[in-house]
Amino acid sequence: MADHIDIIEALRHTRHDWLNVMQLIKGNLALERYDRIEEIINEVARQASCESKISNIQAPSVVHYLLTYNWYCRQMKLEIDVVGDVFSLADKDEHLFRLCKKIMEKLTDESAIDTENHLLLTFLFTDGHCELTFDYQGTLQNREDWLNDLLLREPDVELLEANEHECVLLTRFTRS
Protein backbone atom coordinates (compact mmCIF):
# COMPACT_ATOMS: atom_id res chain seq x y z
CA MET A 1 0.00 0.00 0.00
CA ALA A 2 2.86 2.40 0.79
CA ASP A 3 4.16 2.00 -2.77
CA HIS A 4 0.79 3.11 -4.14
CA ILE A 5 0.80 6.17 -1.89
CA ASP A 6 4.36 7.04 -2.98
CA ILE A 7 3.36 6.77 -6.64
CA ILE A 8 0.27 8.92 -6.11
CA GLU A 9 2.38 11.51 -4.27
CA ALA A 10 4.94 11.54 -7.10
CA LEU A 11 2.20 12.00 -9.68
CA ARG A 12 0.67 14.83 -7.66
CA HIS A 13 3.99 16.70 -7.46
CA THR A 14 4.76 16.10 -11.13
CA ARG A 15 1.33 17.32 -12.18
CA HIS A 16 1.80 20.46 -10.05
CA ASP A 17 5.23 21.12 -11.64
CA TRP A 18 3.83 20.75 -15.16
CA LEU A 19 0.89 23.02 -14.40
CA ASN A 20 3.36 25.69 -13.24
CA VAL A 21 5.25 25.39 -16.53
CA MET A 22 2.01 25.62 -18.50
CA GLN A 23 1.03 28.76 -16.56
CA LEU A 24 4.39 30.34 -17.39
CA ILE A 25 3.94 29.55 -21.07
CA LYS A 26 0.33 30.76 -21.09
CA GLY A 27 1.25 34.02 -19.35
CA ASN A 28 4.11 34.72 -21.74
CA LEU A 29 1.91 33.79 -24.70
CA ALA A 30 -0.66 36.37 -23.57
CA LEU A 31 2.14 38.95 -23.36
CA GLU A 32 3.43 37.86 -26.78
CA ARG A 33 6.86 37.14 -25.28
CA TYR A 34 7.70 34.33 -27.68
CA ASP A 35 11.42 34.49 -26.94
CA ARG A 36 10.67 33.81 -23.25
CA ILE A 37 8.42 30.88 -24.20
CA GLU A 38 11.29 29.37 -26.17
CA GLU A 39 13.59 29.83 -23.14
CA ILE A 40 11.07 28.09 -20.87
CA ILE A 41 10.71 25.16 -23.28
CA ASN A 42 14.49 24.83 -23.64
CA GLU A 43 14.95 24.92 -19.86
CA VAL A 44 12.29 22.25 -19.31
CA ALA A 45 13.92 20.06 -22.00
CA ARG A 46 17.37 20.54 -20.41
CA GLN A 47 15.99 19.72 -16.97
CA ALA A 48 14.24 16.59 -18.28
CA SER A 49 17.46 15.48 -19.97
CA CYS A 50 19.44 15.92 -16.73
CA GLU A 51 16.78 14.05 -14.74
CA SER A 52 16.96 11.22 -17.27
CA LYS A 53 20.75 11.10 -17.05
CA ILE A 54 20.79 11.19 -13.24
CA SER A 55 18.29 8.33 -13.20
CA ASN A 56 20.88 6.23 -15.06
CA ILE A 57 23.52 6.36 -12.30
CA GLN A 58 21.84 3.30 -10.76
CA ALA A 59 21.98 4.75 -7.24
CA PRO A 60 18.31 4.69 -6.21
CA SER A 61 18.65 6.42 -2.83
CA VAL A 62 20.56 9.32 -4.36
CA VAL A 63 18.28 9.62 -7.38
CA HIS A 64 15.12 9.58 -5.24
CA TYR A 65 16.54 12.19 -2.84
CA LEU A 66 17.68 14.55 -5.57
CA LEU A 67 14.65 14.27 -7.84
CA THR A 68 12.19 14.85 -4.99
CA TYR A 69 14.20 17.47 -3.09
CA ASN A 70 12.40 20.53 -4.48
CA TRP A 71 9.02 18.99 -3.66
CA TYR A 72 9.72 19.16 0.06
CA CYS A 73 12.22 21.99 0.52
CA ARG A 74 11.22 25.55 -0.28
CA GLN A 75 14.13 27.31 1.42
CA MET A 76 16.72 26.35 -1.20
CA LYS A 77 16.08 25.50 -4.85
CA LEU A 78 18.07 22.57 -6.23
CA GLU A 79 19.12 22.43 -9.86
CA ILE A 80 20.92 19.37 -11.21
CA ASP A 81 23.30 19.34 -14.15
CA VAL A 82 24.84 16.20 -15.60
CA VAL A 83 27.79 16.41 -17.98
CA GLY A 84 29.51 13.55 -19.79
CA ASP A 85 28.76 9.89 -20.31
CA VAL A 86 27.01 8.60 -17.20
CA PHE A 87 28.21 5.40 -15.56
CA SER A 88 26.90 3.41 -12.61
CA LEU A 89 27.45 4.68 -9.09
CA ALA A 90 25.47 1.78 -7.60
CA ASP A 91 28.28 0.75 -5.27
CA LYS A 92 28.55 4.35 -4.01
CA ASP A 93 24.80 4.82 -3.42
CA GLU A 94 24.85 4.75 0.38
CA HIS A 95 27.94 6.97 0.75
CA LEU A 96 26.81 9.40 -1.94
CA PHE A 97 23.30 9.63 -0.48
CA ARG A 98 24.66 10.31 3.02
CA LEU A 99 27.07 12.94 1.70
CA CYS A 100 24.49 14.74 -0.48
CA LYS A 101 21.95 14.72 2.34
CA LYS A 102 24.46 16.02 4.89
CA ILE A 103 25.70 18.86 2.67
CA MET A 104 22.26 19.85 1.39
CA GLU A 105 20.65 19.78 4.84
CA LYS A 106 23.45 21.94 6.26
CA LEU A 107 23.18 24.42 3.40
CA THR A 108 19.42 24.56 3.90
CA ASP A 109 19.74 24.96 7.68
CA GLU A 110 22.29 27.76 7.32
CA SER A 111 20.45 29.57 4.52
CA ALA A 112 18.89 32.89 5.42
CA ILE A 113 15.13 32.61 5.06
CA ASP A 114 14.71 36.14 3.70
CA THR A 115 16.81 35.57 0.56
CA GLU A 116 16.65 33.40 -2.53
CA ASN A 117 18.95 30.40 -2.09
CA HIS A 118 20.01 28.18 -4.96
CA LEU A 119 22.15 25.05 -5.19
CA LEU A 120 23.53 23.84 -8.50
CA LEU A 121 24.66 20.23 -8.13
CA THR A 122 26.81 19.23 -11.10
CA PHE A 123 27.77 15.65 -11.88
CA LEU A 124 30.78 15.70 -14.22
CA PHE A 125 31.46 12.25 -15.65
CA THR A 126 34.89 11.78 -17.19
CA ASP A 127 36.94 8.69 -17.98
CA GLY A 128 36.81 6.71 -14.78
CA HIS A 129 35.74 9.56 -12.49
CA CYS A 130 32.66 11.43 -11.38
CA GLU A 131 33.10 14.87 -9.85
CA LEU A 132 30.26 16.36 -7.85
CA THR A 133 30.26 20.11 -7.41
CA PHE A 134 27.90 21.70 -4.91
CA ASP A 135 27.66 25.36 -5.96
CA TYR A 136 25.52 27.31 -3.49
CA GLN A 137 24.37 30.87 -4.18
CA GLY A 138 22.44 32.74 -1.51
CA THR A 139 23.06 33.95 2.01
CA LEU A 140 24.69 31.62 4.54
CA GLN A 141 24.76 32.09 8.30
CA ASN A 142 27.38 30.50 10.61
CA ARG A 143 29.17 28.93 7.65
CA GLU A 144 32.58 28.56 9.33
CA ASP A 145 31.36 26.23 12.09
CA TRP A 146 29.62 23.63 9.97
CA LEU A 147 32.08 23.89 7.06
CA ASN A 148 35.04 23.15 9.34
CA ASP A 149 33.14 20.23 10.86
CA LEU A 150 32.18 18.90 7.42
CA LEU A 151 35.73 19.11 6.09
CA LEU A 152 37.07 17.31 9.17
CA ARG A 153 34.49 14.52 8.96
CA GLU A 154 34.53 14.17 5.16
CA PRO A 155 38.16 14.15 3.99
CA ASP A 156 37.11 13.51 0.37
CA VAL A 157 35.28 16.87 0.22
CA GLU A 158 37.21 19.95 -0.91
CA LEU A 159 36.23 23.53 -0.25
CA LEU A 160 36.74 25.58 -3.42
CA GLU A 161 35.06 28.83 -2.36
CA ALA A 162 33.29 30.14 0.72
CA ASN A 163 31.96 33.57 1.52
CA GLU A 164 28.70 35.06 2.75
CA HIS A 165 26.91 34.54 -0.58
CA GLU A 166 28.61 31.52 -2.13
CA CYS A 167 29.91 28.13 -1.10
CA VAL A 168 31.44 25.68 -3.56
CA LEU A 169 32.30 22.14 -2.50
CA LEU A 170 33.76 19.35 -4.62
CA THR A 171 34.06 15.61 -4.18
CA ARG A 172 35.19 12.84 -6.55
CA PHE A 173 34.26 9.23 -7.06
CA THR A 174 36.23 6.67 -9.03
CA ARG A 175 34.46 4.33 -11.40
CA SER A 176 34.38 0.77 -10.08
SS3 label, residue 165: coil
Q: If we measure between CA atoms, which residue out of 129, 117, 118 comes closest to residue 175?
A: 129
Phi/psi of residue 3, each to 5°?
-60, -40
Q: Tell me the one-letter amino acid at 133.
A: T
Q: Tell me the one-letter amino acid at 9.
A: E
What percentage of the chain reaches a pLDDT higher than 90? 52
The answer, as to whether pTM is greater than 0.95, is: no
Question: Quick one: which H or E segment has residue 47?
Answer: helix 34-55
In the chain the domains, ranked by start, together with CATH numbers, are 2-174 (3.30.565.30)
The pLDDT tens digits for 108-156 are: 988 888 899 999 999 999 998 999 999 999 998 877 778 888 888 888 9
The pLDDT tens digits for 71-102 are: 888 889 999 999 999 999 999 999 999 999 99
Q: Would you say residue 5 has pLDDT above 70?
A: no
What pLDDT does residue 171 have? Answer: 95
What pLDDT does residue 2 have? Answer: 59
**Alpha helices, DSSP H, located in 56-119:** 60-72, 93-110
What pLDDT does residue 157 have? Answer: 93
User: How far is the C-alpha of 93 from the C-alpha of 20, rounded, in Å?
Assistant: 31
Among 7-16, 155-164, 166-175, the least confident range:
7-16
